[in-house]
Amino acid sequence: MTVRRDLTFDILKGIAILEVVTHHVLGMAARRYVEEGTGGWLLVVMLNRVLHFAVPTFLLVSSLLLARSLSRHDEPNWLLFLRRRLLRTGYPYLVWTALYLAVRGWNTDLGLTATLIWGKAWYHLYFLAILLEVSLLFPLLFLLLRAWQPDFRRMLLMAAGVQGFVYVFNYYTRILPYPGSSALFFLFPVVVGAWLGLNWQAWHRVWVKWSFRILQAMVGALALYLLAEVLLLSNVSVGRQPYFTLFRLHPALLLLYSTAAALFLLRVAQD
């Protein structure tokens, strides 16, 4: 029997792709076509910052679809899962890394191993490196959520707690030299996506109950994130309070906004 394709995820990925294109076009416009410091420049930059939700959205959707597929099996074949992930993500990643390094004359500032780990052969390859990390972490996450079976609130608390721990731990240890190129800095949307994949039939009820809070989180986090961006553009001293705390929360605010936006767009894509 043929399983009917759910167009929700195609629509959501299409929105995210459009966001990526628009985000980069606005970034180029701010650098090349608008005079820095003018009102028009600030507007373009702020629109660029608003369109910063693509990576968490793609990760949430990927995690959701993986969990939804695996949940159909009582005992998932993890070797087959990892082999497929490596073929579908690892192979193109290695091919494109090799091509970009060849263009650069095999000049790697970080060394080949670090370049592969952090996706630094070219600036946008970090996303494939993150996807590979998610693939390695996903079996543990899936088994944990399936065994624990938390409700939506407990899952959010757990995801926020783990993500907060990673942020704080890395702040004091600097164990991740390029945190934006690590799946550990995107655990929140990955966990949310995995939970949705395991509980897809409950998504409508969750949205009805949580929609107002999700929208509140999206708007509130975006407002504080944009405030931090304006202050950074204004060269405000990052060591002064309350700016110090705001800047420290900057990545968490972006991730909260992006994840809430992904959930909102997921619901939009269903209608």
Query: Which residue do the tokens 């946008």 mark?
Result: 124
Query: Which residue do the tokens 């592969």 mark?
Result: 116
DSSP for 33-81 reads: TS-TTSHHHHHHHHHHHHS--HHHHHHHHHHHHHHHHHTT-SS--HHHH
- Asked whether 213 and 185 are in contact (CB, 8 A), the reply is no
Quote the CA–CA distance of 201 and 204 in Å, as a whole number.
7
DSSP 105: T
- Asked whether 179 and 245 are in contact (CB, 8 A), the reply is no
Please state the pTM of the whole predicted model.
0.92
| DSSP E strand boundaries for the chain | none
Residue 1 is predicted with a pLDDT of: 44
Residue 97 is encoded by which pair of tokens?
Answer: 């890394």
Residue 63 is encoded by which pair of tokens?
Answer: 């995690």
Quote the CA–CA distance of 169 and 193 in Å, as a whole number.
24
Reading the chain (271 residues) residue by residue, the pLDDT tens digits are 455 677 888 999 999 999 999 999 998 998 888 888 888 999 999 999 999 899 999 999 999 999 999 999 889 999 999 999 999 999 999 999 999 999 887 777 788 888 889 999 888 899 999 999 999 999 999 999 999 999 999 999 999 999 999 999 998 998 999 999 999 999 999 999 999 999 999 999 999 999 999 999 999 999 999 988 888 888 777 667 776 777 788 889 999 999 999 999 999 998 7
